[in-house]
Amino acid sequence: MPMQLLSLHLLRAITATAIFCFVLSLTPNAAKANPLEALERAQRGIDECNSDIFNGAVDMPAVIDKASEALMAGLRKQADEGKLGDSNIAIALMLLGAVEDSSQTGLVKQLMLSEVKGFIATGINGGYFAGKPDPAIKPSRGSLASTLTKMPKGRREILPGEVLSHKDNVASVSGTFVDPKAGRFPLVLTVEKENGIWRIKEISNAQALVEEAVGRDR
C-alpha cells in the first residue's frame, strides 16, 4: 500500500476516534439538558444515602418556602372542615396560629426550613429513606426527629414522569412519590436550570398533596 494511502487511512481513523471521544464527553451535559434529570438525581441521593447529591437536585429553601404556604392553607381548610387527625393537631395549631398572625409567618417558615432540612438530611444519610437504616446514625434533634424511627421500613421513590412544559431555563414536570405505607402521590414540579444543571424549585401541586396526605392520615 502506498505511503500516501496509508497516511490517509490513518488520518481518517484518528479523526473518527476524536469525534467518538468528543461525543462521549458530551453525554453528561446531554443528561443535564433534560428537566427530568433533577428527579433522577434526587432519587440517586436517596439510594446512595447522600444528602449532598439530593440537595444538589432540590433547592430546599425555595421548595419549603412555597410548600409551607400550601401547608398552612391546606391545614386551615382541613381544620375548618373538621378533618384533622390526632397526629396533625400539634403542627396544625402552630401553623394555624401563623395564619391568624401574619407577623409570625416568616418565623414559622424558618422553623419549618430548619426542621425539614434536618429531617431530610438524617433520613437520607441514615438510610431511612432508602429502606436500609444505619443504626450508627441517630435521628437529629427536633420535633420531626422521632418520626424517622417510627417510619415503616422500605424505599422511598421519586419517579420521573414527563415534561409538561419547557421554556428556556424553566420547566414543569410530572412525577410520582412512592411511600411504602402511604402509597403513591402525584407530583407536579417546577424545575429551573442553574449553571447548566436542573434543580427542583417548587412543588406546584403542594396544597393538593397536603390535603390528600392529611386525608389519608385520618
92-110: per-residue pLDDT in tens?
555 555 555 556 667 767 7
Q: Is the Cβ–Cβ distance between 156 and 46 less than 8 Å?
A: yes
Report pLDDT digits (tens) over 20-77: 444 444 444 444 469 999 999 999 999 999 999 999 999 998 998 888 777 777 666 6
Domain residue ranges in the chain: 41-217
3-state secondary structure of 186: strand
Does the pTM surpass 0.95? The reply is: no
Length of the chain: 218
Nearest 5°: CA angle at 58, between 56 and 62? 125
Q: Find, among 145, 108, 113, 111, the residue nearest to 126 by Cα.
A: 145
Sheet holding 183-194, edge to edge: 157-167, 170-179, 183-194, 197-203
When the pLDDT of each residue in the chain is averaged and rounded to a whole number, the result is 75
